[in-house]
Structure 1
């Protein structure tokens, strides 16, 4: 494991954890990704990833999308203690890395602002 790895405490790994986010999420979506979020049970933001074979047929493409999502998540600062699930879409497979990174960063920014407005009101 490298220093850049996402520790287990920052990952969603159980279907119960994913199900909780899918049950009543705050959403942010575009043609490349849908990011679902919900206030979490942990003291820090956690990430879950799902890229289906329908969205990306080749394992190398699914892994690339997941790697980009983890990289974007790690680079975020001031994320609320929410659970985030990134769902990859078909158009993401053929998109450039910079476009995908911009998309993911935008989703996290929007959800951070939504979390802040929900905490204020």
Structure 2
């Protein structure tokens, strides 16, 4: 089996990894709100977009629901990351995201990412 091209992966350099990375975005972030998701963003330190996920138990109780939301957001980011400006972003979920269909969540994250361009 061959490896996926680099643009189709989600490597470490496009993720927010440390608490300091997350805190930097939370401290002074722009905000895009959707019905189920909120996107916080700030100009990146590097030259490419980076993604962090903060899907808390407070809003999304079951682990399987949190993981489903994270998979959808990561996939949308992965497919659009080459077109995104150099920003660090964090995606937060509201409680309504639990009952939202996959297509609705995907359409919403696509809209939020499009607004950044």
Q: Do they fold alike, i.e. is TM over 0.5?
A: yes
**Following TM superposition, by how much is the alpha carbon of 1:78 offset from its aligned partner in structure 2, in angstroms?**
1.4
Gaps of at least 5 residues in structure 2 are none
Long gaps (5+) in structure 1:
113-121
| Candidates 13, 22, 36, aligned match of 1:9 | 13
Residue in structure 1 matched with residue 111 of structure 2 by the alignment: 106
Q: What pairs with 1:41-120 in structure 2 (closer than 5 Å)?
A: 41-76=45-80, 77-112=82-117
Residue 30 of structure 1: CA displacement? 1.7
User: Is 1:21 matched up with 2:34?
Assistant: no
Partner SS, residue 42 of structure 1? coil
Q: Partner of 1:38 in structure 2? A: 42
Matched residues in 2 for 1:98 and 1:27: separation?
Answer: 22
CA distance in 2, matches of 1:26, 1:58: 29
What is the TM-score when the length of structure 2 is the normalising length? 0.90
Query: Structure 1 residue runs of 4+, over 6 Å off?
Result: none
Q: How many residues align?
A: 111
